[in-house]
Amino acid sequence: MKKIIVFLFAIAPFLLMAQKKDLQKTIFEVDGVCGMCKARIEKTAFGIKGVKTATWDIPSHQFQVLYDANKVSIEDIHASIANAGHDTPLATAPDEVYENLPMCCLYERKKKVE
């Protein structure tokens, strides 16, 4: 019995922490091509503080992210992914980053940056 109480105390912080967060789940399209893109996009997302989980689906290009809106804004997530070389609906990758992507990752750009 004592152990159970100790255990509940041990996990209580996690539950309390969860309550303070403003967790949001969003899906948007991220341009990319292959498994290397997937690794790059997801690694970038996981590198952002406040991102809990992220997946990018290769065939549909849908990017799904769960994040804490108190720690990071959705615009920042778009910007970080774009900075890694992948265009999103809200941010465009810098040309020099895009051009330095490996051959297989060079997706067709929808919007031409002037």
Partner 1 sequence: MKTILIFLLLLFTFPMLAQEQVEGQLLFQENNETYPLEGVNIYWLNSSKGTVSDQDGKFSLAREISTNQLVFKYLGFRTDTLTVDSDKKIIHFMKEATGESLDEVELTQRRKAIQKSYFEAQNLIQVNSAELLKAACCNLSESFETNPSIDVNFSDALTGTKQIRMLGLSSPYLLITEENIPSVRGASQIYGLTYTPGTWIESIQITKGAGSVTNGFESIAGQINTELQKPFSDAPLFVNLFSSINGRQEANLHWNTEVSDKWSTGLYVHGNQRTLSTDRNKDGFLDLPLTRQVNLFNRWQYTNATKGWVSFASFRFLDDQKQTGSIDFDQKTDRGLTKEWGSQIDTKRFDASLKIGYVFPLLTYQSFGFQAAFNSHDQNAYYGLRQYDIKHDSFFGNLLFNSILGNTKNKFKTGINIAWDRYEEVVDGGLYQRTDQVVGAFFEYTYDSLEKWNIVAGIRIDRHNNLGTFLTPRFHARYTPWERSALRFSFGQGRKAANIFAENQTLFATNRTIQVQSNEGSIYGLRPEKAWNYGLSFRQGYTLFNKQGDLTLDYYRTQFQDQVVVDWETARYIRFYNLEGKSYANSFQLEVDYAPFKHTSFRFAYKNYQVKTDYLDGLKQKPLQPEHRFFANGEYNNVTPEGNGWRADLTYHFVGEQRLPSNPRDGVNSNSNAYGLWNAQITRVFSPRFEVYLGSENLTNEKQLNPVINVDQPFGRDFDASLVYAPVFGSMVYAGLRFNLN
10/81 Cα distance (integer angstroms): 36
Q: Which of 22, 27, 73, 104 binds partner 1 (CB under 8 A)?
A: 27
Tokens of 13: 């912080």
Q: Is 113 in the site for partner 1 (CB under 8 A)?
A: no
28/16 Cα distance (integer angstroms): 30
7/11 Cα distance (integer angstroms): 6
Q: How far is the CB of 5 from partner 1 (least distance, A)?
A: 8
Q: Is 70 in the site for partner 1 (CB under 8 A)?
A: no
Q: Is 74 in the site for partner 1 (CB under 8 A)?
A: no
36/114 Cα distance (integer angstroms): 27
Count other C-beta atoms under 10 Å from residue 64's C-beta: 14
Q: Which is nearer to partner 1, 36 or 97 (CB)?
A: 36
Size of residue set near partner 1 by CB under 8 A: 32
Tell me which residues touch partner 1 (CB under 8 A): 1, 3-4, 7-8, 10-11, 14-15, 18-19, 23, 25, 27-29, 39, 42-43, 46, 51-55, 57, 59-60, 62, 64, 66, 89
